Structure 1
Amino acid sequence: MSSSKVDTRVVVAIDFGTTFSGYAYAHKSNPKEITVENKWGGSLGFKTPTIIKYEDESYSTIKSWGFDALPEKPSKRRKNVDKSRPVELFKLFLLNEKPTFPDTLDYRKVISDYLRKLGEMIKEKVDIHWHDLDFYNKVLIVLMIPAGYDDHAIAIMRGCAFSAGLTREKNSRNLIFITEPEAAAISCLNPLEKLHNLKPGDSFMIVDCGGGTVDLSCHELLANNKIREITRPTGGSYGSSFVDKEFVGFLRRKLGSSTIELLEKEHYNVLQYMVQKFCRRVKIPFTGERSNFQPYEIDLDDYSWLKDIIKGGKEKRLLEEADWSIYVEYDDVKGMFDHCITKIIHLIREQLAQLQNKRCSAIMLVGGFSESEYLQARIKKEFNKIVLNISVPTQPMIAVVKGGVQFGLRAETMVNRGKPSDIRVIVGLDFGTTYSGFTCCHISDSKIFINTKWPPREVYPKINTILQYDRNFVNIVNIEQWGYPEQDETRPVELFKLHLGNLQENLKPRLPVAYKKAITDYLYKLGKLIKEAVKKNWVGINFTENVLLVLTVPAEYSEKEKAIMRECAHNAGLINEGDSLQLQFTTEPEAAAIYCMDKLREYDLLTIGSKLDY
């Protein structure tokens, strides 16, 4: 089990991106000195490609990764063409997308392998700067994730990080997550205040345009350089790789589908080289201005063997007429950009709509794709009358990873104070003797969601604390057989909570199962509904990382009874570890008092000096 204390000395933030990845680090003794890695073997840059290449099709040995795995200029002779295939875009599997991928390869293995290589570099760099530092106990890893990740995706990333050797334990407290727009918002605080004179109460939007995804969220600037999220984060797979896909679609129309399919299957390096060259020569410098554009020529004489595999038909006839050259014109490139930019503009409009009557003071574009002059121009043209300040920070590619380090330095302090480090949602769980229920609330909004929908179709604030088992009292029959059982195959099991507390033994109900099992089984069923409600109401929430459970207990409960409830909650899957800080207790009269005080204030019935008895 992980230690409940985290004694961090160094924070390392990892920006594991769809197309490019990087990391940054800082020592807590000098938090303002954040170092972003910019040397990758013989290559320079703040990020390295999220690409990995294996020795053979067994995929057991890594041949190269990052810049070293990029496709080289192919030979003009087909027999000399390197048929080894770089594996890329594997992060998209976590967003339920399926890029072209070897059939026998598990994307989780590729993520783990890539993180292992990145981790080896990180450990070496940490050792150089702080020799003999205990990496697994003194280093906090902050992993950035898209806003659209659900609990399942985050759990996979945690498992991959563990398999990669970034943590010693799968549920280590030395690995925490933050969404990319949240990290970017933290990083952009100072530029926003200086450039746009933002003050507490003002709101701003972060549009994180990366290689694979675009993530958006709005935040309010608070006092003491703090922020709070005020909209539901949104996003989609409209990053710069979307333009790459459009370019491959363009090649498909020019070369024929069968040619592209053959390249994808047998000569993937060649296809990727063509894409990379297009990115360098066309995509990155594209401004959207027709006067600045020069047509881009793809001379198929550079791939002479390719002519032999292009089958007869319209495509071959047109290529022959063009002397085996393909010309990429202005309108072609503009069309490749416009589809995804239209989607991004729609996402920005959705965020503004969520603000309702609240004015958005600034939009900050971050991420590698935000360096596109055409993307910047389109967004400014679309929203400059609605939002006065639309800007791109210096080095937008590293805004997320720097914000991740800043977040980690803050989160480390919170963990050492014994508080959960990354709470987004609070769930109040009223586990009663005869009736139970739950409520949820996001920390950025005071609105409390009260669950009133119970299986199969009942609409009440609470549900019966009853279970219905099979005849052997092993399994709950199905989801209908708890709370409101419809069938009576066995005697319903109820009042099992009375086995905790000060009730005399002879007054405790007789049960056909152990009372701990009944409590655990009931909490498991209740927990499934809680997780569904959290997922439905708030996107990107990791239940075990971002949710604080507050369980109300009778005032008479001793530490022993609370320990039993904690054990049952752990076994029910409500928390990952028995001593998790994500589960706290409050007594029922305390919770009732807090609620009543709020209501009294609401109706101006409570004044200073008032006395409440409860």
Structure 2
Amino acid sequence: MSHKTLVAAIDFGTTYSGFAFSFGHEFQADPLKISCTNHFHTRSGAGMSLKTPTCILFSPDQQFHSFGYEAEEKYSDLLMDGEHETWYYFQRFKMMLYSCPDLKRDTNLQTSDGKPFPAVKIFSSAIKYLVNKMLSAMGGKLAGIGHDDVHWVLTVPAIWDDKAKHFMRIAAEMAGIKGRNLLIALEPEAASFFCRYLPVEKLSDSGKSEISCFEPGKRYLVLDAGGGTVDITVHEVLHNGHLRELFKANGGPWGGTTVDEAYKEFLERLCGQKTFARLQRDFKDDFMDLIREFEVKKRTVSPELDQKVTLKIPITLHEAFQDEHGKSFREVVAERQDLHGKLVFAGDKMRVEPSLMKSFFEKTCDAIIDHLKGLFGKPELSGVTTILMVGGFSESPMLRHAIQTNFCRMRVVVPNEAGLAVLKGAVIFGHQPKIISSRVSRYTYGISVREPAQNGDPNELLIQEEDGRWTCRGHFYKHVEVGEEIPVGARSKGTVYFPSDKVHDGMKIAVYVSTEKDPKFIVDKGCTHLGEISVGGGRFQGVKVTLIFGGTELGVEAIDQDTGKVTNANFDFLE
């Protein structure tokens, strides 16, 4: 159990973000006594919210201005006044860390109009805002509590790679969180921790004994459906109450925002690419309002929906269509036989038939169902009887129905607080960081080493040394294999590495990952350069390097072979 006086968690989501906290003595008395109250003013001050949109605004001189609802409101005002062009506005930027294959410290993001901005500054400013907002919300409760008494937990998708996790750690440290006080939590795991403590009446609308899925020996799948990704882990409950991961974390980009994308694609087909592009470029405020309204309306869509849904279509879209095509948008749509009876216009409103509204969910739900069917065919998932659905998108009746219909032999559990399960579970994880006993490696991890050249070595890896000998500079020395179950804190067999030159101040060791079980060379199929281990400074003849696996982040230890002392070693995954 954590010895910190206070655990504070930040759930940095694709669409919404928030924070929660609890004190050590509160957790011991009641693990579910977690403070997560309304701290965010909604748009136009109409109310308060537990979370705020993950959007951020910087001034023309690239200084942080606002986050969340305040950023949305200010940017909307700038758009209406035509003063937005020199400002920097970003939303749903978290997915960049999943989709960027070559993430670096100096990676830039671009605004919708193409202005570059340092990604790490965007993330660190967002985290700093949430940290300050939490500290402000706590008020007098912080009396007598120092920075070292706070244990911070930051949530990330389990399917993120080591580079993305490392990037978030760097951003958090830039935001003022000390590295030794920071714990990275995997989102579906955190949700699982929270649900284990829920009483039956809060775990299920029906009040049935779904809590039995957390009894020793039970196996269950956690499906964390958020805004950007669907994140999946599979757990077995051990007799000591700890959890064992049965299959490597997996998932994909099938979160709730993909339903929004389906709606946007529909509108683009309806009005044409040029008209839709103009709406996004020249009438950003109207476009933002259009998407916001759909986000609200889509939450009410269920399989039982039998009435038309009304969606506002901005007059600027009608005008842009008229300019582009010389015809009325309403008349052209009315003439389309494939849409006959599916939608009609009434003023600035579009009335959509239930079947058309439901169709925006099809591609997303189908992708999730297909992925789950593939998973349940794996031998590692034998004995799994329960699907635990968490995350904001799990509250969608359409997704819930799709899961329940396709996996009718499974017990499907959706807790009442599905959208807060990750956030509150991250607090619990901060108090009990050793609740997971083992995890399954997503990759084969290894280090690039030199070996005497042999027949069959790749030509591009061969190098002739000063003494004339030929060596191969890219053998993959394996430490852990993909799919291998690893106890948390497990240490690889220490290996001694020697500097490649005689004059050195420290040493860098290249780390590689592979999707294959037994790669021979760093250029083999499936191999990727992950980053480097920096050892030193100082001079030494050799260093014994041990990788530490099983945690939410990769660890490393280096021992100087001359002195036997632990020397400074750390990862650099971002260059």
Give the TM-score normalised by structure 1: 0.67
1:128-159 C-alpha deviation (Å, 9 max, x unpaired): 31214212x11111111011211111111111
Q: Which residue of 1 aligns with 2:370?
A: 346
Q: Which residue of 2 aligns with 1:183?
A: 190
1:508-553 C-alpha deviation (Å, 9 max, x unpaired): xxx9826996xx46xx15x447999799799x99999634568899
Report the aligned-residue RMSD.
4.6
User: Which residue identity lines up with residue 69 of structure 1 in the other structure?
Assistant: A
CA distance in 1, matches of 2:13, 2:501: 53
> Which among 238, 246, 249 is matched to residue 265 of structure 2?
249
Q: Which residue of 2 aligns with 1:479?
A: 473
Give the TM-score normalised by structure 2: 0.72
Aligned-residue offset at 1:236: 1.0
Q: Where do 5+ consecutive residues of structure 2 fail to align?
A: 101-108, 201-208, 336-344, 455-461, 478-494, 520-525, 531-547
CA distance in 2, matches of 1:17, 1:452: 33
Aligned length: 485
> Which among 36, 45, 50 is matched to residue 46 of structure 1?
50
User: Which residue identity lines up with residue 415 of structure 2 in the other structure?
Assistant: P
Greater fraction strand: 2
Alignment of 1:208-357 (within 5 A): 208-280=224-296, 282-291=297-306, 293-301=307-315, 306=320, 310-312=324-326, 318=332, 326-356=350-380
Aligned-residue offset at 1:38: 2.1
1:67-104 C-alpha deviation (Å, 9 max, x unpaired): 223359989xx975775774201111101168974432
Aligned-residue offset at 1:406: 0.6
3-state SS of 1:296 partner:
strand
CA distance in 2, matches of 1:348, 1:287: 21
> Which among 150, 155, 158 is matched to residue 169 of structure 2?
158
> Which among 90, 93, 104 is matched to residue 93 of structure 2?
90
Q: 1:218 to 1:574 in 2, by over 3 A?
A: same
CA distance in 1, matches of 2:400, 2:285: 32
3-state SS of 2:302 partner:
coil
Does the Cα contact within 8 Å between 1:368 and 1:396 map onto a contact in 2?
yes
CA distance in 1, matches of 2:24, 2:263: 45
Aligned-residue offset at 1:360: 1.3
Alignment of 1:352-501 (within 5 A): 352-356=376-380, 358-385=382-409, 387=410, 389-411=411-433, 442=440, 471=466, 479-480=473-474
Q: Which residue of 2 aligns with 1:206?
A: 222
Does the Cα contact within 8 Å between 2:449 and 2:475 map onto a contact in 1?
no
CA distance in 2, matches of 1:118, 1:534: 43
Q: Which residue of 1 aligns with 2:117?
A: 105
Which sits farther off after the overlay, 89-98 or 305-314?
A: 305-314
Q: 1:191 to 1:352 in 2, by over 3 A?
A: farther
Q: Which residue of 2 aligns with 1:125?
A: 137
CA distance in 1, matches of 2:293, 2:223: 27
Q: 1:312 to 1:545 in 2, by over 3 A?
A: same
Q: 1:498 to 1:26 in 2, by over 3 A?
A: closer
Aligned-residue offset at 1:370: 0.7
User: Which residue identity lines up with residue 146 of structure 2 in the other structure?
Assistant: D
User: Which residue identity lines up with residue 502 of structure 2 in the other structure?
Assistant: V
CA distance in 2, matches of 1:328, 1:71: 28
1:552-580 C-alpha deviation (Å, 9 max, x unpaired): 99xxx8xx7321xx32x727x4999xxxx
1:368-424 C-alpha deviation (Å, 9 max, x unpaired): 111111111111010012x1x11210111110111111110012xx6xxxxxx9886
Q: 1:92 to 1:468 in 2, by over 3 A?
A: same
Q: 1:162 to 1:196 in 2, by over 3 A?
A: closer
1:204-225 C-alpha deviation (Å, 9 max, x unpaired): 1111111111101110011232
Q: 1:248 to 1:469 in 2, by over 3 A?
A: same
> Which among 113, 132, 143 is matched to residue 154 of structure 2?
143
CA distance in 1, matches of 2:310, 2:417: 28
Q: Where do 5+ consecutive residues of structure 1 fail to align?
A: 1-5, 415-420, 426-441, 460-466, 484-495, 500-510, 577-614
Alignment of 1:578-589 (within 5 A): none
3-state SS of 1:219 partner:
strand
> Which among 494, 502, 506 is matched to residue 513 of structure 1?
502
3-state SS of 1:36 partner:
coil
CA distance in 1, matches of 2:445, 2:81: 66
Greater fraction helix: 1
Aligned-residue offset at 1:25: 0.4
Percent of residue pairs bearing the same amino acid type: 23
CA distance in 1, matches of 2:380, 2:515: 28
CA distance in 2, matches of 1:241, 1:264: 17
User: Which residue identity lines up with residue 294 of structure 1 in the other structure?
Assistant: K
CA distance in 2, matches of 1:543, 1:222: 17
CA distance in 2, matches of 1:320, 1:59: 47
Q: Which residue of 1 aligns with 2:339?
A: none
> Which among 69, 72, 81 is matched to residue 70 of structure 1?
72
